[in-house]
């Protein structure tokens, strides 16, 4: 199992995604009962790209958000960055994958000049990094003034009547699917662990503001187990 406080955390995360890359898309659909596509569509809408605009998908993985953005408007330019070559290789082979520019990069040090993009998005990245604020500061640096930064990630579930069912899904169903479909129960034990120990949507919004974004807003999805955040880099 990969622990957030391990000194090798980033290397373990990278290796884990390389391992599960081939079954990643299918696992997402099964775990979210097919809802993940609708959330990614919301990410694209919140990014508010102008026609022909440029989109950076940080931690692009197998490309779902960038592919959704190209489906929404084929005139955009989609660039994806990720440190897992395995995930990007799988993504590049998908239909439409050749329309994306795939860049091997660490989310802490994006290899792009300041203000390069009309919007920067990430899906399921920030839960995997130790310094969430630094990762957002880097996204603020590369988005143009007035451009949006959008973040989709899981959120720790609140105590409610549904809580026991949600925990059953996290603790039993997801690791079981991980073992049967991805052949990797440990990666899918890490997933619920990382969700439960992650920041609340309120805390994440505060970090985004501290990173320099304004008009930060969020909405909870899927019984509060997901959150979609959006903020804007202020005009200079
Ligand atoms: C759960 S996947 C999400 C992929 C995609 N964004 C999606 O919505 O399906 C997380 C991705 O984040 C990448 N990742 C995690 N930490 C990273 C970092 N520090 N720099 C670059 N990529 C990172 C992993 O390699 C993996 O592809």
How do 77-82 and 117-123 pair as beta strands?
Answer: unpaired
Q: In this predicted model, what pLDDT tens digit does every residue of 216-228 receive, in sequence order?
A: 999 999 999 999 9
Does residue 86 form part of some domain? yes
What the block records as the tokens of 139 is 């996204």
Q: In this predicted model, what pLDDT tens digit does every residue of 141-155 receive, in sequence order?
A: 999 999 999 999 999
Percent of the residues in the chain that have a pLDDT greater than 90, as a whole number: 69
Q: Residue 97: give the domain boundaries.
A: 9-24+33-156+199-232
Spatial distance between the Cα atoms of 181 and 189, rounded to a whole number of angstroms: 14
* CB 59 near ligand 1, within 6 Å: yes
Pocket test for ligand 1, best of 104, 111, 125, 137 (most atoms within 8 A of CB): 125
The pTM for the full model equals 0.92
CATH code of the domain containing 228? 3.40.50.150
* CB 84 near ligand 1, within 6 Å: yes
How many structural domains does the chain have?
A: 1
């Amino acid at each position: 199992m990969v622990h957030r406080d391990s000194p090798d955390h980033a290397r373990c995360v990278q290796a884990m995604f390389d391992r599960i890359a081939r079954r990643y898309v299918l696992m997402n659909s099964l775990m979210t009962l097919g809802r993940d596509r609708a959330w990614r569509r919301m990410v694209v809408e919140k990014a508010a790209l102008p026609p022909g605009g440029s989109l950076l998908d940080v931690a692009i993985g197998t490309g779902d958000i960038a592919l959704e953005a190209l489906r929404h408007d084929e005139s955009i330019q989609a660039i994806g960055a990720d440190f897992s070559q395995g995930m990007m290789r799988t993504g590049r082979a998908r239909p439409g994958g050749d329309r994306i520019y795939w860049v091997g990069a660490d989310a802490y040090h994006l290899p792009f000049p300041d203000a390069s993009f009309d919007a920067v998005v990430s899906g399921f990245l920030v839960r995997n990094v130790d310094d969430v604020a630094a990762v957002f500061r880097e996204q603020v640096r590369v988005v143009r003034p007035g451009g949006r930064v959008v973040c989709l990630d899981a959120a720790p579930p609140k105590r409610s009547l549904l809580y026991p069912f949600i925990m059953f899904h996290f603790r039993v169903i997801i690791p079981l699917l991980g073992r049967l479909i991805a052949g990797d129960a440990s990666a899918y034990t890490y997933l619920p662990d990382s969700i439960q120990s992650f920041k609340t949507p309120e805390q994440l919004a505060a970090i985004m503001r501290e990173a320099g974004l304004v008009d930060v807003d969020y909405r909870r999805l899927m019984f509060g187990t997901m959150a979609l955040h959006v903020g804007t880099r202020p005009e200079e």
